[in-house]
Structure 1
């Protein structure tokens, strides 16, 4: 994931980058998808030239906002596993739901502009493969579960962000419980084959 540190920016440039990306994420939700780079600059408290130096167009800014949300709010810390794979899964899904709730415009823009490519989610795909293996080995999920299935589960979590209310609302807890229960071991084998890796946005 690209962030200010990964881009190798100086400390002052990194601070401006962070301010711009955070401000853009807020502006997308408050103003809407038509927000301009000039409006983002005002909200970030930086000059318009500073924004244009880093982002040539809105699509680049959308990509940066999505990556920032993923790396700061969703991504497991250094993709480190605990000794409880089920807890790792539920923590990850809850983090995803919390981070994406209230970001409908960002999600729509990411889909519309194809802002995020497969390479951005490569760490997640590897992590999901490893997690699926650990869950199966522990007998906590259907034995035919694979990493691609967990990718589909994240898509389902995205659909849950459309449910009105707070991220910890009874409705969201209910649907997440239903979703997780569908992964539990059962005598009914999943039909078909898993989809190719699919991106959360």
Structure 2
């Protein structure tokens, strides 16, 4: 079905406003206030503040949309690069480490998203893209435990972001937490419980059976 002009205009406005919010958050210093004036974001996007409220419902929706754009811009491409690596295990770990570093480079947005509950497993998992294929390849190579699923990778990112704090200037605490979590991907150890809602014995579907379309950045 062809998109109506009104829906297309709303989609373009959502994208423009979301990116304006991401840019505004990126200019805020670490440790400072994280609340943006919706009027300022609207002006940056070239729309009225009423449009921001209509499309996002307020500051919480705008924060979530900005964080979604950040994931699409920074995490999705890392997964695509990891999928081309000849050694999937190290590539998987490197992609996760780099994803964390790229996200914490926007501390004001991460703090705002964390405070408003916008950093959730579903959102992060939906932006891991080709990391599912990398995970499967690493498991076939015996480099990652066979019972790990894509949602576990999303959980590693979410938990690491939860430990990030402004006093960790050198990233030592963050690196320690991430190393501990990544160590849990190594083969061996106690079998993991079956993920909630997954039939017993079922695993992630093969990567070839899944679509690879990039999630809507500002949906």
TM range (shorter): 0.5 to 0.7
**2:141, 2:156 → 1: CA distance?**
19
**Residues 174-193 of structure 1 aligned to structure 2 (within 5 Å):** 174-186=176-188, 188-193=189-194
Tell me the matched-pair count.
180
Alignment deviations for residues 74-97 of structure 1 (CA, whole Å, 9 cap, x no partner): 223573512222233223322332
For structure 2, list consecutive stretches of 5 or more residues without a partner in the other structure: 1-7, 199-219
- What is the correspondence of 1:159-178 to structure 2 with a 5 Å cutoff? 159-162=162-165, 164-166=167-169, 169-178=171-180
- The farther-off stretch of 170-179 and 18-27 is 18-27
Q: What's the C-alpha RMSD, in Å, of the aligned pairs?
A: 3.7
Aligned with 2:126: secondary structure? helix
> Hey, what's the Cα distance between the residues in 1 that align with 2:97 and 2:64?
22
Given that 1:69 and 1:99 are in contact with CA atoms closer than 8 Å, whether structure 2 keeps it comes out as no
Bigger mean CA offset, 136-145 vs 21-30: 21-30
Report how far residue 26 of structure 1 moved: 4.5
Residue pair 1:160, 1:172 contacting (<8 A) in 2 also: yes
Distance 1:27 1:55, change over 3 A: farther
Question: Following TM superposition, by how much is the alpha carbon of 1:72 offset from its aligned partner in structure 2, in angstroms?
Answer: 1.6
Measured in 2, the distance between the counterparts of 1:62 and 1:122 equals 17
1:107 and 2:114 matched = yes
**1:133 maps to 2:131:** no
Structure number with greater CO (CA < 8 Å, separation at least 6) is: 2
